[in-house]
C-alpha cells in the first residue's frame, strides 16, 4: 500500500486521541439526531423508542434512524479526523480509483469463497464453551438483536428491497469502511509501520462493535478480508464494494425467499466445517494472487521519497 505525503505531522498517539474524541462526539451528536428524527417521524417519545423499534408499523422511522446513526457514528468522525490530521483528507481515507479490473475480479472470487467460510465459522462459534450464565446472557442479547433486525429486513415488496439494499448494504458499507479501513486501520498501519497488527486490531474492533458473540468469528474474519483488500489496493472503494456485495447478496437472497414463500431456514446449522476449510485454502491462494497483482499495479503510484522521510522509505520498500 502507498501513502501520500500529506500528513500534518500530528503524532500518532495524538491522532488516536483525536479519533476517539471525534468518535465519542459522533455518538453524542448521533444520539441527539436519532432522538429528533424518531420524534419527528413517529410523534412518539424517545422513552418508548426501544420498544417501538420492534414494531413493523414504524418501519420508515427505523430505517431513517439506521441511516442517521451509522452516518454520525462512523462517517462523520473519520471524515473530520482526516480533515484535522491530513492535508488531503480524501486521499488519506483511500478515496481513489487506483485499482484494476483484475483486482476487482479477484476480489469477487474472494467474496464468493467468504460465504462458505462464514457459514463454517458461524458453526464453529457455537462450539465455543461458555458458562451457563454467559450462555444465557449472549442468547438473550442475540434474541433482542434478531428482533430488531427482523423489522428492518421485513422485505415484502420490491420497493422495500431497494430500500434495504441502500440502508442495510450500501450506506453501511460506505460509512463503516470509511471509519474502520480508511480511518482506523490507516492510523494503525502508519503507527505500527506495518499492516498485520493494524488489520488484526481493526478487525477485532470491527467485530466487537456489532455486539454479537455468536457472530464474532464471522465478522472478525470479514474484517481481516476487508483489511487486506484495502491495504493491498490502497483504495477504500474496493473494500466498500466488497462490503456492499457481501450484505447485498444476503438481502437479495432474503427478498427472493420472501416473495416465493420460502421459509428462512438457518442453513449454517448443518454447514460442514470441512467446506469452510477448503474455502479457506482457496482464499489464501486467491489472496496471494491479489497481493502479487496489487503490488505490481500499485508500483506505478509510488511517489518520490525525500531523504528524511523514514516512514515513506519503509512504505516504498514494503509495498
Q: Is residue 52 part of a domain?
A: no
Q: According to the model, what pLDDT value does residue 184 have?
A: 97
Indicate the SS3 state at residue 7.
Answer: strand
Alpha helix (H) residue ranges in the chain = 12-42, 49-52, 59-70, 76-85, 89-93, 101-126, 132-152, 158-164, 171-177, 186-192, 195-208, 216-233, 236-259, 273-298, 310-317
Q: Is residue 20 part of a domain?
A: no
Contact 184, 20 (CB under 8 A): no
Per-residue pLDDT tens listing for the chain (319 residues): 444 467 788 899 999 999 999 999 999 999 999 999 999 999 998 888 888 888 888 899 999 999 999 999 999 999 999 999 999 999 999 999 989 999 999 999 999 999 999 999 988 998 888 888 888 888 888 888 877 787 788 788 899 999 999 999 999 999 999 999 999 999 999 999 989 999 999 999 999 998 888 889 999 999 999 999 999 999 999 999 999 999 999 999 989 988 887 776 544 456 788 899 999 999 999 999 999 999 888 877 765 444 433 443 334 344 3
d(CA 280, CA 61): 40
Q: Is residue 147 part of a domain?
A: yes
Picking from 87, 94, 96, the residue whose alpha carbon sits closest to that of residue 6 is 87
Indicate the SS3 state at residue 86.
Answer: strand
SS (H, E, C) 235-258: CHHHHHHHHHHHHHHHHHHHHHHH
Total domains in the fold of the chain: 1
Q: According to the model, what pLDDT value does residue 273 have?
A: 87
Indicate the SS3 state at residue 303.
Answer: coil
Domain housing 265? 98-317
257 Cβ contact partners less than 8 Å away, ≥ 6 residues apart = 263, 264
189 Cβ contact partners less than 8 Å away, ≥ 6 residues apart = 1, 195, 198, 199, 231
Q: Is residue 13 part of a domain?
A: no
Q: Is residue 178 part of a domain?
A: yes
List C-alpha distances in Å: 158 to 13, 165, 207.
Answer: 48, 11, 30
Q: According to the model, what pLDDT value does residue 307 have?
A: 40
**Structure pTM?**
0.89
Q: According to the model, what pLDDT value does residue 130 have?
A: 85
Q: Is residue 205 part of a domain?
A: yes
Q: Is residue 270 part of a domain?
A: yes
Q: Is residue 226 part of a domain?
A: yes
Amino acid at each position: 500500500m502507498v501513502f501520500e505525503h500529506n500528513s500534518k505531522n500530528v503524532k500518532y498517539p495524538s491522532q488516536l486521541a483525536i479519533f476517539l474524541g471525534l468518535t465519542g462526539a459522533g455518538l453524542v451528536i448521533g444520539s441527539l439526531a436519532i432522538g429528533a428524527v424518531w420524534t419527528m417521524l413517529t410523534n412518539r417519545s424517545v422513552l418508548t423508542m426501544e420498544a417501538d423499534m420492534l414494531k413493523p408499523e414504524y418501519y420508515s422511522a427505523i430505517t431513517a434512524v439506521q441511516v442517521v446513526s451509522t452516518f454520525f457514528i462512523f462517517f462523520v468522525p473519520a471524515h473530520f479526523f482526516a480533515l484535522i490530521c491530513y492535508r488531503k483528507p480524501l486521499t488519506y481515507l483511500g478515496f481513489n480509483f487506483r485499482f484494476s479490473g483484475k483486482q476487482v475480479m479477484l476480489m469477487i472470487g474472494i467474496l464468493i469463497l467468504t460465504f462458505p467460510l462464514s457459514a463454517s465459522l458461524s458453526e464453529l462459534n457455537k462450539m465455543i464453551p461458555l458458562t451457563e450464565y454467559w450462555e444465557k446472557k449472549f442468547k438473550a442479547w442475540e434474541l433482542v438483536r434478531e428482533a430488531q433486525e427482523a423489522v428492518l429486513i421485513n422485505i415484502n415488496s420490491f420497493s422495500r428491497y431497494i430500500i434495504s439494499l441502500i440502508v442495510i448494504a450500501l450506506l453501511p458499507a460506505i460509512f463503516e469502511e470509511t471509519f474502520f479501513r480508511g480511518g482506523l486501520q490507516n492510523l494503525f498501519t502508519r503507527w505500527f509501520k506495518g499492516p498485520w497488527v493494524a488489520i488484526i486490531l481493526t478487525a477485532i474492533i470491527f467485530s466487537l462493535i456489532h455486539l454479537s458473540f455468536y457472530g464474532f468469528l464471522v465478522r472478525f474474519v470479514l474484517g481481516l478480508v476487508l483489511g487486506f483488500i484495502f491495504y493491498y489496493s490502497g483504495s477504500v472503494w474496493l473494500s466498500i464494494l466488497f462490503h456492499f456485495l457481501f450484505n447485498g447478496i444476503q438481502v437479495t437472497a432474503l427478498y427472493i425467499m420472501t416473495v416465493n414463500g420460502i421459509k428462512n431456514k438457518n442453513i449454517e446449522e448443518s454447514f460442514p466445517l470441512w467446506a469452510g476449510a477448503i474455502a479457506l485454502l482457496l482464499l489464501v491462494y486467491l489472496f496471494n494472487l491479489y497481493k502479487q497483482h496489487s503490488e505490481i499495479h500499485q508500483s506505478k503510484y509510488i511517489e518520490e521519497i525525500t531523504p528524511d522521510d523514514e516512514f515513506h522509505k519503509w512504505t516504498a520498500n514494503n509495498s
